[in-house]
């Protein structure tokens, strides 16, 4: 398809180039932070970024970088560098790719800017703790750990006290590293913006309740980058408002991302970054749209726990209760809610060798979904970045078998 034709097609969205530009500028700024007199913090994707924004620190996300590495298909090479250093192929490929990239350079943007500090929040996994320890040893920069006790069944009183105290520790850490006072006024503004961004992001995802869905999970994976990296800034608000407008227009005009949308599915787990196009085409060719996913909604799932007038006071709890930090049964509940909300015909689970906290428990969630909703469930074995752990032929066979089951319903 020529560029002109593509611009006229249903798949084209004006937001996309806008978003690319924002991300390009953001990474440029991060890369030249030193010349701009700014400090850079590496932070985990589920980490509390708002205090960094308030402090004028540029946050950089190795996981977002990992996603770019996955999309650009440079993951295997970088993982191999890490494996050469002794890191097992069974470890998370985001971590392996990042470790490989910091050792040997490379990747789509030639590596991340060196960190001045590391902020690790273990609300997504224990992997990030190990990964950030490794990078702290390598770069010899201060490491802050925001330790969020797991919420198997309840968020305990003592856990609340613990995370609240860490918010104060975090502020003190930033004050020490930056040698300046933490701007609490600014924090209020950033906190409010962050909450607004989460609400906007939820609205963006909600547009997919429309039939046909104006965006698919594949688009959500793309537009997600901003809520992850720049939440709390004005840029994010402006962008998501623009995106939301565009999506609403699509809904009004009945434009679906999959033109022939006949089946609607819910995606679980991280994307398979190295096969995004292949997967979206494979499903679209079978008149199926992945209209929603559990992954991108994780960045707005706890908005109800945040008091926007007391961001610091409520952020500990909100960050502790995120999707990956709750019990399997609670996850299943959320999956069921999404199944109903987006009126899907089936569930597609990515059993992701990299991400054990996301993947272990999927079999039980599958059982719960089958029992409570009687929906077909497809499990695709892969890895988000490491393309060696994926076979198109096998995936295609499974997708076909799944489609057959869906068709019979």
**Interface ranges with ligand SF4 (CB under 6 A):** 63, 92, 94, 124-125, 127-128, 270, 354-355, 357-358
Please report where in the chains the tokens 């074995």 appear, as a residue. Answer: 381
328 binds, among ligand SF4, other proteins, none (CB under 5 to 8 A by kind): other proteins
- Cβ proximity to other proteins: between 250 and 353 the closer is 353
Chain-centroid distance of CA 181 in Å reads 31
Question: Residue 304 and residue 152: Cα distance in Å, rounded?
Answer: 19
Tokens coding 218: 């594949």
Question: Residue 403 and residue 283: Cα distance in Å, rounded?
Answer: 9
327 binds, among other proteins, ligand SF4, none (CB under 5 to 8 A by kind): other proteins
- Cβ proximity to other proteins: between 29 and 330 the closer is 330
- Cβ proximity to ligand SF4: between 23 and 99 the closer is 99
370 binds, among ligand SF4, other proteins, none (CB under 5 to 8 A by kind): none
268 binds, among ligand SF4, other proteins, none (CB under 5 to 8 A by kind): none
- Nearest approach, Cβ of 150 to other proteins (angstroms)? 6
In the complex, which residues of this chain contact other proteins (CB under 8 A)? Answer: 85-88, 90-92, 95, 122, 125-127, 129-131, 133-134, 136-137, 143, 145, 147, 149-150, 152-153, 156, 158-159, 161-162, 165-166, 169, 327-329, 351, 353, 356-357, 359-364
Tokens coding 209: 């309740």
Task: Could you list the beta-strand ranges (E) of 311-376.
Answer: 346-352
123 binds, among ligand SF4, other proteins, none (CB under 5 to 8 A by kind): none
351 binds, among ligand SF4, other proteins, none (CB under 5 to 8 A by kind): other proteins
128 binds, among other proteins, ligand SF4, none (CB under 5 to 8 A by kind): ligand SF4
- Cβ proximity to ligand SF4: between 221 and 358 the closer is 358
- Nearest approach, Cβ of 138 to other proteins (angstroms)? 9
The closest of 240, 237, 229 to 207, measured between CA atoms, is 240
Residues in the chain: 409
- Cβ proximity to ligand SF4: between 31 and 356 the closer is 356
**φ, ψ at 74 (rounded to 5°):** -105, 5
Chain-centroid distance of CA 339 in Å reads 20
90 binds, among other proteins, ligand SF4, none (CB under 5 to 8 A by kind): other proteins
Tokens coding 321: 């209760």
- Nearest approach, Cβ of 137 to other proteins (angstroms)? 5
129 binds, among ligand SF4, other proteins, none (CB under 5 to 8 A by kind): other proteins
The closest of 151, 158, 169, 138 to 329, measured between CA atoms, is 151
- Nearest approach, Cβ of 126 to ligand SF4 (angstroms)? 8
Question: Residue 114 and residue 124: Cα distance in Å, rounded?
Answer: 23
Tell me whether residue 362 is exposed, middle or buried, using C-beta atoms within 10 angstroms of its C-beta: 0 to 12, 13 to 18, 19 or more: buried
**φ, ψ at 72 (rounded to 5°):** -80, 0
Contact 357, 341 (CB under 8 A): no
Question: Residue 117 and residue 334: Cα distance in Å, rounded?
Answer: 34
139 binds, among ligand SF4, other proteins, none (CB under 5 to 8 A by kind): none
Please report where in the chains the tokens 């901003």 appear, as a residue. Answer: 226
- Cβ proximity to other proteins: between 15 and 359 the closer is 359
- To the nearest 10 degrees (0 to 180), the angle between helices 75-85 and 62-71 is 120
- Cβ proximity to ligand SF4: between 94 and 173 the closer is 94
- Nearest approach, Cβ of 355 to ligand SF4 (angstroms)? 3
Question: Residue 176 and residue 181: Cα distance in Å, rounded?
Answer: 9
- Cβ proximity to ligand SF4: between 297 and 314 the closer is 297
- Nearest approach, Cβ of 128 to ligand SF4 (angstroms)? 5
Tokens coding 84: 């050469």
Contact 101, 111 (CB under 8 A): yes
- Cβ proximity to other proteins: between 30 and 322 the closer is 322
Question: Residue 193 and residue 279: Cα distance in Å, rounded?
Answer: 34
- Nearest approach, Cβ of 352 to ligand SF4 (angstroms)? 7
- How does DSSP classify residue 111? S
- Cβ proximity to ligand SF4: between 65 and 250 the closer is 65
- Nearest approach, Cβ of 149 to other proteins (angstroms)? 4
């Amino acid at each position: 398809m020529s560029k002109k034709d593509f611009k006229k097609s249903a798949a084209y969205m004006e937001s996309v180039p806008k978003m690319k530009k924002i991300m390009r500028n953001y990474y440029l700024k991060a890369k030249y932070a030193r010349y701009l007199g700014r400090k850079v913090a590496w932070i985990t994707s589920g980490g509390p970024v708002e205090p960094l924004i308030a402090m004028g620190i540029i946050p950089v996300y190795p996981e977002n970088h990992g996603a770019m590495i996955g999309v650009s298909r440079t993951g295997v090479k970088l993982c191999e560098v890490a494996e050469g250093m002794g890191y097992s192929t069974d470890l998370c490929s985001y971590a392996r790719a990042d470790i490989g990239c910091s050792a040997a350079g490379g990747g789509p943007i030639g590596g991340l800017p060196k960190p001045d500090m590391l902020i690790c929040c273990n609300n997504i996994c224990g992997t990030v703790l190990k990964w950030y320890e490794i990078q702290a040893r390598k770069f010899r920069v201060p490491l802050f750990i925001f330790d969020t006790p797991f919420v198997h069944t309840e968020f305990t009183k003592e856990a609340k006290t613990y995370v609240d105290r860490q918010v104060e520790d975090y502020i003190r850490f930033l004050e020490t590293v930056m040698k300046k006072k933490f701007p609490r006024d600014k924090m209020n503004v950033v906190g409010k913006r962050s909450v607004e961004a989460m609400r906007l992001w939820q609205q963006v995802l909600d547009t997919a309740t429309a039939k046909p869905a104006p965006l698919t999970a594949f688009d959500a994976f793309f537009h997600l980058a901003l809520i992850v990296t720049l939440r709390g800034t004005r840029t994010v608000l402006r962008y998501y408002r623009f995106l939301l407008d565009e999506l609403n227009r699509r809904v009004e005009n009945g434009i679906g991302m999959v033109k022939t949308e006949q089946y609607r599915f819910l995606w679980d787990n991280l994307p398979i970054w190295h096969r995004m196009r292949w997967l979206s085409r494979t499903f679209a060719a079978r008149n199926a749209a992945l209209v929603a996913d559990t992954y991108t909604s994780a960045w707005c799932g706890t908005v109800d726990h945040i008091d926007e007038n007391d961001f610091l006071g409520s952020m500990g709890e909100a960050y502790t209760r995120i999707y990956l930090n709750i019990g399997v049964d609670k996850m299943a509940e959320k999956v069921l809610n999404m199944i109903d909300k987006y009126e899907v015909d089936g569930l597609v689970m990515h059993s992701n060798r990299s991400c054990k906290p996301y993947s272990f428990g999927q079999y039980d969630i599958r059982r719960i979904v089958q029992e409570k909703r009687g929906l077909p469930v497809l499990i695709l074995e892969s890895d988000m970045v490491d393309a060696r752990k994926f076979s198109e032929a096998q995936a295609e066979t499974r997708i076909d078998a799944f489609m057959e089951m869906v068709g019979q319903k």
